[in-house]
Amino acid sequence: MALQRYQAFYHVARSGSFSRAAEQIYVSQPALSHAVKKLEEEVGCALLLRHARGVALTAEGQILYDHLTQAYRWIEDGERQVRDMKRLAGGEVRIGASEALCRHYLLPYLARFHRDYPGIHLHVTNGTSRETMGLLHRGFIDFGLVNLPLPEDGDARVRVEPGPLLYDCFVVSPDKRGWKRGAVSLAEVAEEPLILLEPGSVTRDYIDGVFRNQGIALRPEIELGSLDLVVDFARQGLGVGVAVRNFIESDLRAHTLYEVMIEPPLPPRRMGLIRHPDEAPSVAVAAFLEGLRTTWTKDYP
């Protein structure tokens, strides 16, 4: 093979001797001599000048040797990076996640993983669950965290792994906590100024579907681009907002927000992990996912 001839030439040129090169790569001296000769025939010129004390490079041989030296450095660098990846001293993890899941669920684990493995580069792309699906299909991320259910759940190109339960709820500001006594119906909630996510998100589709199943048409007063903004607007007394109870437990305990009790309660849904079913994860990605799954033992992240 040509690669074997290049290897033979490189080691002879580097050591300056056929005999020393033969000892270094555990090949017989006649085999090395034959390989170099064949390479010279292929390139059409002499690469080495033989003399009593060893060999010297011709001008053409020097050019080839310089290029091979650079190639070997690249190979050695690649081997070093692979070793680093195997011991989690290097590599990268590319993640896609919606804003709420990224801020309230992913960020704490990201910080812990970065402290444990500072040599691994973490790339996070923020987008809706549908946008995250698109990033996965285009190969821009290794996996994504999304809100379920996705309309593309049946897509054979994506493996969906259900994660913790998410509990949607309606919230109001402290000055509106006496708005209703006891549990209220969805129809009563729909009569209030509603603060919802913009149309097109999985979470908005889910909320719309809950009301639609009750024969209720939603006419929100305010539509925003993130759940955190929805909560902020509700906290300021601008209406009834939809939030994920998992992410506002501290607000509820501090009484900066109050939950509106719904009868019947909103059914829970799940967050999910999506990735390609046929792609083997890198060592870094596998380690990240293994640790992430250990946080799924409880429904509240």
Least confident of 104-118, 172-186, 223-237, 246-260: 172-186
Q: Render pLDDT for 192-203 as a digit per residue (tens, 0 to 9).
A: 999 999 998 888
Token pair in block for residue 132: 């995250």
Enumerate residues 6+ apart whose C-beta is below 8 A from 105: 97, 145, 164, 246, 247, 271, 301
Examine the pLDDT at 300 and tell me if it is beyond 50: no
- Pairing mode of beta strands 168-172, 240-244: antiparallel
Task: Say yes or no: domain 92-165+270-297 is CATH 3.40.50.300.
Answer: no
Instruction: Give burial (CB, 10 Å; 0-12/13-18/19+) of 217.
Output: exposed
The residue ranges of DSSP E strands in the chain, in sequence order, are 48-51, 54-57, 92-97, 121-126, 143-147, 159-166, 168-172, 194-197, 222-224, 240-244, 258-260, 269-275
Q: State in words which class domain 168-267 has.
A: alpha beta
In this prediction, residues 274-300 reach a mean pLDDT of 82
Q: What is the pLDDT of residues 32-61, one digit of tens each?
A: 889 889 988 898 999 999 887 888 999 998
Q: What was the pLDDT predicted at 299?
A: 46
Q: Which helix (H) or strand (E) holds 2?
A: helix 2-15
**pLDDT of the residue at 128:** 87
- Angstrom distance (rounded) from CA 261 to CA 30: 88
Q: Are 123 and 83 in contact (CB under 8 A)?
A: no
Residue 227 CA to chain centroid, in angstroms?
22
| Whether pLDDT at 4 is above 80 | yes
Distance of alpha carbon 103 from alpha carbon 106, whole angstroms: 6
> In the prediction, which pLDDT does 152 show?
55
Task: Please report the sign of the dihedral spanned by the C-alpha atoms of residue 214, residue 215, residue 218, residue 224.
Answer: positive
Angle between the N-to-C axes of helices 2-15 and 59-86, in degrees from 0 to 180, rounded to the nearest 10: 100
Over residues 210-235, mean pLDDT: 93
Q: DSSP assignment of 41-59, as one string?
A: HHHTS--EEEETTEEEE-H
Please determine, for residue 278, whether its predicted confidence score (pLDDT) is greater than 50. yes
CB 30 within 8 A of CB 19: no
Average pLDDT in the 15-33 region?
Answer: 88
Rounded distance, CA 130 to CA 151, Å? 9
Give yes or no for residue 79 having a pLDDT over 90.
Answer: no
pLDDT at 24: 86
Q: Which long-range contacts (CB under 8 A, 24 or more apart) does 105-109 make?
A: 105/145, 105/164, 105/246, 105/247, 105/271, 105/301, 106/145, 109/291, 109/292, 109/295
| Domain boundaries along the sequence of the chain | 2-86, 92-165+270-297, 168-267
Its pTM stands at: 0.69
Which CATH code for domain 2-86? 1.10.10.10
Mean residue pLDDT of the chain comes to 88
Lowest mean pLDDT among 126-130, 156-160, 246-250, 265-269: 156-160
Output the six-digit token pair for 299: 């429904």
Residue 1's pLDDT is 55
Radius of gyration for the alpha carbons in the chain, expressed in angstroms and rounded:
31
Reported confidence tier of residue 301, pLDDT bands at 50, 70, 90 = very low
pLDDT tens readout for residues 132-185: 998 998 899 999 999 988 765 456 678 899 999 999 999 999 988 666 667 889
* Fold match, 92-165+270-297 / 168-267: yes
Question: Higher model confidence: residue 278 or residue 13?
Answer: 13
CA angle, corner 133, sides to 126 and 119, nearest 5? 50
